[in-house]
Amino acid sequence: MAIQPRFTPAFLGFFIVLASGITTPVAADSSSLHQATIEYLAQTPQRDDDARADVSGDVSLEHPLVDASSVRSWIPLELEPEPPAYPLVLNAQVQHFLDRFTGERRDVIGLWINRSNRYLGMIREVLKSRGLPEDLAFTAMIESGFNPVAVSRVGAVGLWQFMAATARRYGLRVDRWVDERRDPEKSTFAAAAYLGDLHKMFGSWWLAQAAYNAGEMKVVRAIRATGSNDFWDLARSRHLMRETKDFVPQIQAATMIGRDPAQYGFETGDTTIVAFETVTVPAGTSLRWLAAAAGVSADMLASLNPSLIRSVTPPGAPYALRVPVGTGSGVLIALEAPRPPPSRVRARVVARVPGKSVARASTTRDGAIHVVRPRDTVSSIAKHYGVSTNDVLRWNSLEKRSRIRPGDRLKVTDIRLPSEPRQASAR
């Protein structure tokens, strides 16, 4: 996962030690390394939209999942004609994971490879636009299995498994309405920027990936303790966690397979990529309502806008919504048409049963809303309303490990109220 960068005086001391003659991970004149480090630490990665708006016409990213306006705001002014190659090595650690990925984990890796068809082209183009090795794309394979809505046990989210603080540092919006860590394109630009910064610090893609997983300072301390800036030396020491020691060789194995899946017996199916166009919609626009009004698939609209965690555009300002190519005019017509008045909400009074109270719910034209109480779980809510847990997760865009908190409002459509007996099915 991407850990929030933490720059401390120890980091400066690390470069001073390196400058004294042990080793230098970044190609630089050792006499100026001290000053260069101070200058680097004083900088904060940020998007310079004005400086990058006037990009050479030679730069072109043509991929259905890449928004040209976003590209213009992220592409650096100077691009290398050919991105550097990502180094591969086949040693005992890499061979271990290569055997595992083609053996006991073949089914999982096959799923990831098939899923990659949707995102790999876009990721490679973004990395190339930043002057980075295209094979860095397989970092996302190990991070998330190319799942843009993956959530880790510690709260890292998206293709690139960003923690919220790191995501915000690299320009992604993360709040109660929008989580751009779930946006494949925007999170890829952020990951490219972060990996690029890490490579500037360590001068090695393997160390950059290790720092992406563990955090810069853990890698810095390992280098200082061992006196080596070779990842494989660090991996043989006790100064890195097992997760980080395994992270880089897993990416190495995934890259070898990803370069030529057929060589390892994997089949790559064709995955249809839906190109999109952008339409500005009012704040608070419900995706479900808009899909019905414009005749667009609700699932398609949700998949093109995964960062909208509540399936509604955020309040306060118009929102640039992605819609399938060719449907933009229909969406605009639907937005201009008068909306029907909202249905009157019928609230159901909380019923009290000896020993317990029945959950509070309200019925709307979209179904029912459950207000989460202390000690509620998704499964207990689903059981209470006579629906499946998977339905509650799907209706609320939740993952199995997502947390719910008291006061949250969950959709529980197609409910059967506790007082209503189940009807016998016709035979």
Which CATH number covers residue 215?
A: 1.10.530.10
308, 352: one domain? no
The distance of Cα 384 from the centroid of its chain, to the nearest Å, equals 33
Residue 178 to residues 148, 172, 242, 275: CA-CA distances in angstroms? 14, 9, 33, 21
Per DSSP (E only), the strands in 213-351 are 276-281, 319-324, 346-348
Residue 418 lies inside a defined structural domain of this protein: no
Q: What is the C-alpha to C-alpha distance for residues 258 and 114, in angstroms, rounded to an integer? A: 10
66, 179: one domain? yes
396, 322: one domain? no
Residue 421 lies inside a defined structural domain of this protein: no
33, 120: one domain? yes
Of how many residues is the chain composed? 427
286, 259: one domain? no
Q: How many CB atoms lie within 10 A of CB 183?
A: 26
27, 151: one domain? yes
Residue 122 to residues 126, 185, 274: CA-CA distances in angstroms? 6, 7, 12
366, 231: one domain? no
- Return the structure tokens found at 410: 């969950």
**pTM for the complete prediction?**
0.65
Q: What are phi and psi of 74, to 5 degrees?
A: -115, -25
64, 196: one domain? yes
* Helix intervals (H) in 102-145: 106-129, 138-144
Which pLDDT belongs to residue 399? 81
Which pLDDT belongs to residue 126? 96
Residue 419 lies inside a defined structural domain of this protein: no
Residue 130 lies inside a defined structural domain of this protein: yes
Residue 217 lies inside a defined structural domain of this protein: yes
**CATH code (residue 405):** 3.10.350.10
- The closest of 28, 34, 43 to 13, measured between CA atoms, is 34
227, 197: one domain? yes
How would you write the pLDDT of the chain (427 residues) with one tens digit per residue?
665 444 444 444 444 344 333 333 333 333 333 333 333 333 334 333 333 333 333 334 445 555 544 444 443 434 445 667 899 999 999 999 999 999 999 999 999 999 998 899 999 999 999 999 999 999 999 999 999 999 999 899 999 999 999 999 999 999 999 999 999 999 999 999 999 999 999 999 999 999 999 999 999 999 999 999 999 999 999 999 999 999 999 999 999 999 999 999 998 776 667 789 999 999 999 999 999 999 999 999 999 999 999 899 998 899 999 999 999 999 999 998 876 554 443 434 333 334 443 444 444 444 567 888 878 888 888 877 777 888 888 888 888 778 888 778 888 765 343 433 444 333 3
Residue 404 to residues 329, 373, 401: CA-CA distances in angstroms? 38, 9, 10
- The closest of 215, 140, 142 to 184, measured between CA atoms, is 140
Question: Range of 208's domain?
Answer: 9-264
Which pLDDT belongs to residue 354? 41
**CATH code (residue 332):** 3.10.350
Question: Which residues are within 8 A (CB) of 122 and not within 5 positions of it... i.e. 6 or more apart?
Answer: 63, 64, 65, 66, 184, 185, 188
Kindly provide the b/e burial profile for residues 111-135, where b requires at least 16 CB atoms within 10 angstroms of the residue's own CB.
ebbbbbebbbbbbbbbbbbbbbbbb
Domain end: 313, 336, 359, which one?
336
Q: What is the C-alpha to C-alpha distance for residues 165 and 377, in angstroms, rounded to an integer? A: 27
Kindly provide the b/e burial profile for residues 266-300, where b requires at least 16 CB atoms within 10 angstroms of the residue's own CB.
beeeeeeeeebbbbebeeebbbbbbbebbebeeeb
Residue 317 lies inside a defined structural domain of this protein: yes
Residue 239 lies inside a defined structural domain of this protein: yes
What's the total number of domains in the chain?
Answer: 3
253, 398: one domain? no
Query: What residues form DSSP beta bridges with 321?
Result: 279
117, 26: one domain? yes
125, 209: one domain? yes
Residue 341 lies inside a defined structural domain of this protein: no
